[in-house]
């Protein structure tokens, strides 16, 4: 049975009208989770100490100080803070860290239905709807708090996880693999971006390439993950590679997310006792997001096969 971490504060991060990362995404995710059998847990608020595993204190304070008392404040042209954003972002980190704590202690798998997303947030830069590197922070918690020797972070959002890459660039204990459409925002993620220790694997995909191309690059990449022998696998689960998503063009179907989720779980079953923590990133067509989340979390909860 998969653990599902969520909290109503995720619906209190409000963006301006017409923004794709909108409150309705929270409702769409909840609708997808309604069909999933799993144990629900409330995401706790994150600790600033967890943020400091990846971000400098001055940057964290700048984000907190930029939160408005009403309306919105823009960090850049597409990244906005509202009065509820600080609590939502802290609970995104808190949920991811609590999921790591639970899976390390209890085994199994977990999904964190969080927003705002995190994989574009660099060391001292908020961008791409993201403020803190949620999954990278969770990876560092697994390494530095729980003493794991190696973790793998796998990102299948349609956009490159430039923030996760930045935060883990010098971390030899963390393997990072990202598939993403190229060219597309943020313009990073070329195959030759390999990290300070060769532990980063980028899998750029052409627009319109579809599920067959995805499988062709992920199969050998997952063999590399297995060879790395992680003790925990974390997923940045973005569903904006879906054919209906307005921000991407990879043309994946729900079945492609199911295949990739199962393939990742198979590696986890083989090398780390099945331990997987998945955190929500993108996905901006509401119907596609609902269906994809339901399929992904259902697959996370299936018995090994």
Give pLDDT tens digits for 191-215.
Answer: 999 999 999 999 999 999 999 999 9
The pTM assigned to this predicted structure is 0.97
Report the pLDDT value the prediction gives residue 305, as an integer from 0 to 100: 58
Which residues, in sequence order, are CB contacts of 147 under 8 Å at separation 6+? none
CATH number assigned to the domain with residue range 2-300, chosen from the 4 options 3.40.50.1100, 3.40.800.20, 3.40.50.720, 3.30.470.10: 3.40.800.20
For residues 274 and 260, give the distance between their C-alpha atoms in angstroms, rounded to a whole number. Answer: 15
For residues 115 and 33, give the distance between their C-alpha atoms in angstroms, rounded to a whole number. Answer: 15
For residues 62 and 76, give the distance between their C-alpha atoms in angstroms, rounded to a whole number. Answer: 14
Question: CB 211: neighbour CB atoms within 10 A?
Answer: 18
Which candidate, 51, 92, 269, 237, places its Cα nearest to that of 153? 237
Report the pLDDT value the prediction gives residue 303, as an integer from 0 to 100: 73
For residues 220 and 253, give the distance between their C-alpha atoms in angstroms, rounded to a whole number. Answer: 21
Low-confidence ranges of the chain (pLDDT < 70): 304-305
Question: CB 300: neighbour CB atoms within 10 A?
Answer: 28
Query: Which listed residue (7, 13, 53, 120) is catalytic?
Result: 120
Omega prior to 301 cis, within 30 of 0: no
DSSP state of 45: P
CA atoms within 13 Å, Cβ hemisphere of 7: 24
Which candidate, 305, 242, 241, 304, places its Cα nearest to that of 276? 304
Q: How far is CA 224 from the centre of its chain?
A: 20
Which candidate, 170, 264, 166, 165, places its Cα nearest to that of 214? 264
Counting runs of H as helices and runs of E as strands, what totals does the chain give?
9, 10
For residues 147 and 196, give the distance between their C-alpha atoms in angstroms, rounded to a whole number. Answer: 21
**Is 120 part of the annotated catalytic residue set?**
yes
Contact 233, 272 (CB under 8 A): yes
């Amino acid at each position: 049975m998969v653990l599902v971490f969520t909290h109503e504060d995720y619906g209190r991060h409000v963006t301006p009208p017409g923004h794709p990362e909108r409150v309705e995404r929270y409702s769409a995710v909840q609708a997808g989770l309604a069909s999933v059998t799993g144990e629900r847990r409330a995401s706790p608020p994150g600790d600033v100490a967890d943020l400091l595993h990846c971000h400098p204190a001055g940057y964290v304070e700048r984000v907190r100080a930029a939160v408005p008392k009403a309306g919105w404040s823009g960090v850049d042209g597409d990244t906005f803070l509202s009065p509820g954003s600080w609590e939502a972002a802290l609970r995104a980190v808190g949920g991811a860290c609590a999921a790591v704590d639970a899976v390390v202690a209890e085994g199994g798998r977990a999904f964190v239905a969080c927003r705002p997303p995190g994989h574009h947030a660099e060391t001292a830069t908020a961008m791409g709807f993201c403020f803190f590197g949620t999954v990278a922070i969770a990876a560092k918690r697994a390494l530095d708090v729980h003493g794991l020797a190696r973790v793998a972070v796998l990102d299948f959002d349609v956009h490159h996880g430039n923030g996760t890459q930045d935060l883990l660039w010098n971390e030899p204990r963390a393997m990072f693999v990202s598939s993403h459409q190229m060219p597309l925002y943020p313009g990073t993620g070329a195959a030759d971006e390999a990290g300070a220790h060769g532990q980063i694997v980028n899998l750029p995909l052409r627009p319109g390439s579809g599920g067959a191309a995805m499988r062709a690059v992920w199969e050998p990449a997952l063999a590399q993950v297995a060879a790395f022998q992680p003790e925990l696998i974390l997923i940045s689960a973005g569903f904006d590679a879906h054919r209906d998503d307005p921000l991407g063009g990879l043309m994946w179907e729900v079945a492609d997310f199911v295949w990739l989720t199962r393939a990742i779980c198979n590696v986890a079953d083989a090398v780390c006792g099945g331990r997987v923590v998945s955190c929500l990133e993108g996905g901006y067509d509401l119907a596609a997001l609902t269906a994809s989340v339901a399929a992904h979390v259902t697959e996370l909860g299936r018995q090994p096969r």
